[in-house]
């Protein structure tokens, strides 16, 4: 092993504990497929952005829900501009987000907002809860309080 290799090896070892997921950049077709996919689990899809104060404030509830509830899949749809991908990735690392983060790079908003939900004005935060097993869904356009997510999910499970 020469010097360079040792250095590389050390960097590799030291770098690993800092592993964090990276946001996946997607187009609307991927989101549409997600929304309509078959799933045994309840899907919670949250629309947010790193610059959106109320979104960042409610994120811990989504994190907690994902960590504590095996029957729920949480997806975090970032509406940050794709140019800010580094900022989103740094945010994921800092907040230790483990739910999948998908950055929706689709600027022609008017072409897809209604396809998520017709009641959506386009303001964020907004959250879509889908119970694919029962075919029920619920869309809310506001900042959620602690415990509200659990209530929404319970409403769809009856």
| Residue (42 or 103) nearer to other proteins, CB | 103
Q: In what order do the strands lie in the sheet with 136-140?
A: 24-26, 101-104, 72-78, 42-48, 126-131, 136-140
Nearer to other proteins, 119 or 157 (CB): 119
Q: Is the CB of residue 54 less than 8 Å from the CB of residue 143?
A: yes
Nearest of 66, 64, 103, 62 to residue 86 by alpha carbon: 103
Q: Could you list the residues that contact other proteins (CB under 8 A)?
A: 51-52, 54, 79, 81, 83, 107-111, 113-114, 119-125, 141-143
By beta-carbon proximity to other proteins, the closer residue of 73 and 78 is 78
Residue 38's SS3 state is coil
Residue closer to other proteins, measured from CB, 22 or 57? 57
- Tell me how far, at minimum, the Cβ of 74 lies from other proteins, in Å: 20
Q: Report the distance separating Cα 53 and Cα 124, nearest Å.
A: 10
Q: Rounded to the nearest whole angstrom, what is the least distance from the CB of residue 62 to other proteins in the complex?
A: 17
CA dihedral for 127, 130, 135, 136, sign (positive or negative) = negative
Min dist. Cβ of residue 104 to other proteins (A)? 9
CB of 153 to other proteins, least distance (A): 20
């Amino acid at each position: 092993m020469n010097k360079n290799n040792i250095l590389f090896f050390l960097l590799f070892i030291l770098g690993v504990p800092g592993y964090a997921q990276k946001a996946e950049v997607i187009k609307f077709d991927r989101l549409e497929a997600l929304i309509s996919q078959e799933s045994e689990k309840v899907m919670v899809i949250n629309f947010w952005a790193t610059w959106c104060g109320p979104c960042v404030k409610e994120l811990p509830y989504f994190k907690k829900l994902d960590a504590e509830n095996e029957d729920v899949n949480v997806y975090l749809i970032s509406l940050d501009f794709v140019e800010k991908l580094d900022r989103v990735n740094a945010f994921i690392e800092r907040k230790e987000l483990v739910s999948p983060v998908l950055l929706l790079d689709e600027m022609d908003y008017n072409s897809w907002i209604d396809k998520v939900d017709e009641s959506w004005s386009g303001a964020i935060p907004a959250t879509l809860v889908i119970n694919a097993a029962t075919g029920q869904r619920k869309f809310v356009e506001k900042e959620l309080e602690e415990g509200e997510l659990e209530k929404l999910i319970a409403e769809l499970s009856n």
